Amino acid sequence: MGYTKDQRIEDHEDRMCSCWEGSLVNFWSRSCKEETVIDATKGAKPVRTPSQPHSPASLNKLNVSSHRALLDSSKGASTPSVQTLKNELLQNSNVRVFTYNELKAATRNFRADSTLGQGGFGIVYKGWIDEVDGAGFKVVAVKVLNQDGLQGHREWLAEVNYLGQLRHAHLVKLMGYSCEDEHRLLVYEYMSRGSLENHLFRKSTLPLSWLTRMNIAIGAAKGLAFLHGSERPVIYRDFKTSNILLDSDYTAKLSDFGLAKDGPEGDKSHVSTRIMGTYGYAAPEYVMTGHLTARSDVYSFGVVLLELLTGRRSMDKKRPAGEQNLVEWAYPYLRDKRKLFQIVDPRLDGQYSVRGLQKAASLAYHCLSHNPKARPLMSDVVETLKPLQNMRDMANASSTYVPGSDVVESATKHVSLNGSNTRQLSARSVSKANERIPPSPIANEVAK
């Protein structure tokens, strides 16, 4: 659920190719002319799709089911009866039910100048709703489902049911929803600083400081730990920088629960599910088998932690061949204290804790273990990260730490409430990208 003013145009120099409009991109030829579409549960099916205009937005999202097939499969769910909706929606008092006209008025008739951004789900608008107690108006983000978009009714329903029931300081708050006829809308709290993705990778933004990055990592980790530790555990399944939103104080909150799944119950060790997510972030065992566990989220967290340390995207086809896959490139450096500094984000300009870097790198190393059982629990990740906030042994000794200087004011306008241009994954491509990652030692070394 990210929002940028127009990622398709503004990021053309530092982002790779993908289609917000929903067309599929051939990962190997980087072309939109013809695609081999793969349903990871059924094998490969050659599918010809018409060429569609595409934009510079990130080739690390690879859909493995055809756009049309996905739409066809969810047609029955996209127009449920009133009674069906009542059965599908979990009863809760945490969210408001809006009429379509109320949200139309809140966004000034969905005017173009109210647009915050768009993704596979649809368009996100800035809006103003009246407070329940009549105290005034509140700024919100209104996400409007594309009626023939990629995320469909079932993912809208997942968002309402999960975020409607769950409340935590590091989860984006769902204020309400609207469901009338074909219209599906979601109303969220407004996250003024947008997505972590844009702060890390947009050239027009000032760099996030080391302490701010660690605070963001801790906040996001707390969000995942809360989901995994709930009475009924939830597997997030789409943890990535574009789904981590920041408020005015740079507090990190998880958004976009369209792919979330209930965790395994009873004596089951995993959930078997169709492979969906974002290329470059998904755990290799999940992509290979469809077996989903909380440790799958831990792997994705390791990728995001690497992005925070290096300032690089999980996948970047503009880099040299050996550096395009971030995990593959950075993994050998994570346990080498002499070479570790070589992969640190140069935009930090030496303003990072040496010990903090080593601890964070070691943590990333274990989170990215090829053996899921060797990965730490998210609760342990949180405890490992907490001390990093207080380390002040800056690598650049000539610079002086100034209290309060860690929160850097963004030079951009509002950025993402989406990142939800999520694609299903190619088991073949992701396993190939990860096959050279060596297994790590036991995870309890992280806290050393």
Whether 324 has a pLDDT exceeding 60, the answer reads yes
Calculate mean pLDDT across residues 100-117: 92
Per residue in 258-317, pLDDT (tens digit) is 888 887 876 777 887 788 888 899 999 999 999 999 999 999 999 999 999 999 999 999
pLDDT tens-digit map of 383-407? 999 999 888 888 774 444 443 344 4
Q: What is the pLDDT of residue 170?
A: 98
Cα–Cα dist 60/431, whole Å: 14
Model confidence at 44: pLDDT above 50: no
Pinpoint the residues of the chain covered by CATH 3.30.200.20.
Answer: 77-189
Give CATH 1.10.510.10 domain extents, the chain: 196-445
The answer on whether 359 is annotated among ligand-binding residues is no
- CATH of 77-189, picked from 3.30.200.20, 1.50.10.10, 3.40.30.10, 3.40.50.1170, is 3.30.200.20
Structure tokens at 307: 């992005």
Helix-strand-coil percent breakdown of the chain, rounded to 5?
35, 15, 50
- In the CATH hierarchy, which fold is given to the domain comprising 196-445? Transferase(Phosphotransferase); domain 1 (1.10.510)
Query: Average pLDDT, stretch 327-336?
Result: 97
Catalytic site residues?
Answer: 238
Phi/psi zone of residue 155: left (φ > 0), alpha (ψ -120 to 50 degrees), beta? alpha
b/e sequence 122-156, b meaning 16+ C-beta within 10 Å: bbbbbbbbeeeeeeeebebbbbbbbeebbbbbebb
pLDDT of residue 32: 35
Mean pLDDT of the residues in the chain: 74
Q: Span 3-30, mean pLDDT?
A: 32
Angle at which helix 210-228 crosses helix 354-367, to 10 degrees, equals: 30
Name every residue whose Cβ is closer than 8 Å to that of residue 13 and which is 6 or more positions away in sequence.
56, 203
pLDDT of residue 20: 29
Q: Is 288 helix (H, G, I), strand (E, B) or coil?
A: helix
Question: Does the pLDDT value for residue 446 go beyond 60?
Answer: no
pLDDT in tens, 238-260: 999 999 999 999 999 999 888 88
Cβ neighbors of 318 (< 8 A, separation 6 or more) are: 14, 16
64-91 pLDDT, tens digit per residue, is 332 333 333 334 444 555 555 555 665 6
Which pLDDT score, from 0 to 100, does residue 54 have? 32
DSSP, residue by residue, 360-376: HHHHHHHHT-SSGGGSP
